[in-house]
Amino acid sequence: MSSETTFKIEDKYMAPFFVKQQISIEKGDGVFVWDEEGNRYIDFTSGWGVTCIGHAQPVITEALLNQSRKIIQNPNSGLTYSPARAGLLALMKEVLPPHLTHVFFSNSGAEANDAAIKLARKVTNRLDVISTHQSFHGRTISTASATGQASHREKFNPLMPNYRFVTYGDLDDLAQALDEDVAAFIIEPIQGEGGVHLPSEKYLKEVERLCSKNGTLLITDEVQTGFCRTGPMFVTGSMGVKVDFLTMAKGIAGGFPFGGFAMSKKVASRLEIGDHGGTYCGNPLGCAVAHAVIKYLVDHNVSANVETMGGICLATMGQWKERYPHAIKDIRGKGLLLLIEFADPDMAARVSDGCLDRKLFVRQTQGNGIRVFPALNIKENELKEGLGIMQAAIEQVAG
């Protein structure tokens, strides 16, 4: 099948939720992908943060093949035990912050966030949930209601009630909002889709203290930041922040649709049989893939590679900011979750288009930003090739 045929079929039958780039990707290998005509591209989006160890990664292929030959879905689903699920749970215990003792697996990050919010209300017997402006927590009606961006909420009115919003990074704003009606505060330790915003070093520890004092459960959404995206396995764990729920997805299974949430023993003790469930949650196939991906991250010390490659990115992008101060307003991020903020959305769009013309995928975010989040095991020569393309695109627009 040719790209033109693919375009016609998708345009005719697929729901109209995306503005498509006129490229049909047929295969991938690591950070590289090829279209149906055989043109090679570099992927600096890692499939929106999910292909954390590259496209067509052999350990994922082997896990899919080996487990699918055994069983894909258990009889009675979660009501029967699974060695694949048990193996993943044991590995999760090794990589999660120690106080998070119980885990439930989901199909996506939105589903994990939705469940954490629901269960927090049950545990506390309170209704209100606080989120932050510019946050993103998913596209279900509940998580869209918890998302602090009007563009993701207002066209779907009426929204779910009992959500409030505070300024990200502002402790005074949070302290004033916390009261006896607040069941949970849900927060990304680093805002991703909202523009890669990092809080101060003390912020999350103080958030923990304020929530604990108020009897409010703390939910950290590590869907994008988890599994070494910023360096450590989890941001909150590396900072010693004790949360009540930690939600995860994206990098957990390297591109296979999978997610989950972990909770403290105290929270788990307040939950009962029937409080949550799901048909595919913790299915053996997904568990086998997630186990293979997490083991790869640990065994190959991917965390160290992320810190090294992230340092190269920040240093290189910092030079661009000095060279094009009229065009680049800011460079920010941590590890391999980075953003270049341009002077205006038009400039960001032209740089993004210039990258694509030169066979590099990047992601325009929040109008005037370009988010860079490649595979975590990217090699230095691959990274520099992609950065060179970005520089050429910036030079053409801003030089």
| Cβ 70 vs Cβ 64: under 8 Å | no
> Whole-angstrom Cα distance, residue 21 to residue 19?
7
Instruction: Work out the percent of the chain whose per-residue pLDDT is above 70.
Output: 100
Q: Is the per-residue pLDDT at 348 higher than 80?
A: yes
What mean pLDDT comes out for the span 183-204? 96
What mean pLDDT comes out for the span 166-195? 97
Q: Is the per-residue pLDDT at 151 higher than 90?
A: no
Q: Is the per-residue pLDDT at 1 higher than 80?
A: no
DSSP element (H, E) containing 160: none
> Whole-angstrom Cα distance, residue 220 to residue 203?
13
Measured over the CA atoms of residue 115, residue 117, residue 120 and residue 126, the dihedral's sign is: negative
What mean pLDDT comes out for the span 351-359? 97
| Distances in whole angstroms, Cα of residue 43 to Cα of each of 12, 23, 311, 369 | 27, 13, 19, 17
Q: Is the per-residue pLDDT at 224 higher than 80?
A: yes
Output the pLDDT for position 294.
98
Output the pLDDT for position 155.
87
Confidence category of residue 52, pLDDT binned at 50, 70, 90: very high
| Average pLDDT over all residues of the chain | 96
Q: Where are the alpha helices (DSSP H) in 178-264?
A: 203-214, 235-238
What mean pLDDT comes out for the span 366-387? 97
Q: Is the per-residue pLDDT at 273 higher than 90?
A: yes
| Distances in whole angstroms, Cα of residue 177 to Cα of each of 146, 167, 201, 219 | 15, 11, 21, 16
Q: Is the per-residue pLDDT at 194 higher than 90?
A: yes
> Residue 32: CA atoms inside 13 Å, Cβ hemisphere, count?
9
Domains of the chain: 60-299 (3.40.640.10), 301-343+355-370 (no CATH)
Q: Is the per-residue pLDDT at 21 higher than 90?
A: no
Q: Is the per-residue pLDDT at 20 higher than 90?
A: no
Q: Is the per-residue pLDDT at 19 higher than 90?
A: no
Confidence category of residue 288, pLDDT binned at 50, 70, 90: very high
Q: Is the per-residue pLDDT at 154 higher than 90?
A: no
Least confident range of 6-10, 204-208, 323-327: 6-10
What mean pLDDT comes out for the span 230-236? 97
The 3-class SS string of 244-308 reads: CEEEECHHHHECECCEEEEEEHHHHCCCCCCCCCCCCCCCHHHHHHHHHHHHHHHHCCHHHHHHH
| Cβ 386 vs Cβ 374: under 8 Å | yes
| Residue keyed to tokens 């044991």 | 90
Q: Is the per-residue pLDDT at 296 higher than 90?
A: yes
Picking from 199, 193, 192, the residue whose alpha carbon sits closest to that of residue 167 is 199
Q: Is the per-residue pLDDT at 172 higher than 80?
A: yes
pTM of the model as a whole: 0.96
Confidence category of residue 399, pLDDT binned at 50, 70, 90: confident
What are 30-45's pLDDT values in tens digits? 999 999 999 999 999 9
Q: Is the per-residue pLDDT at 99 higher than 80?
A: yes
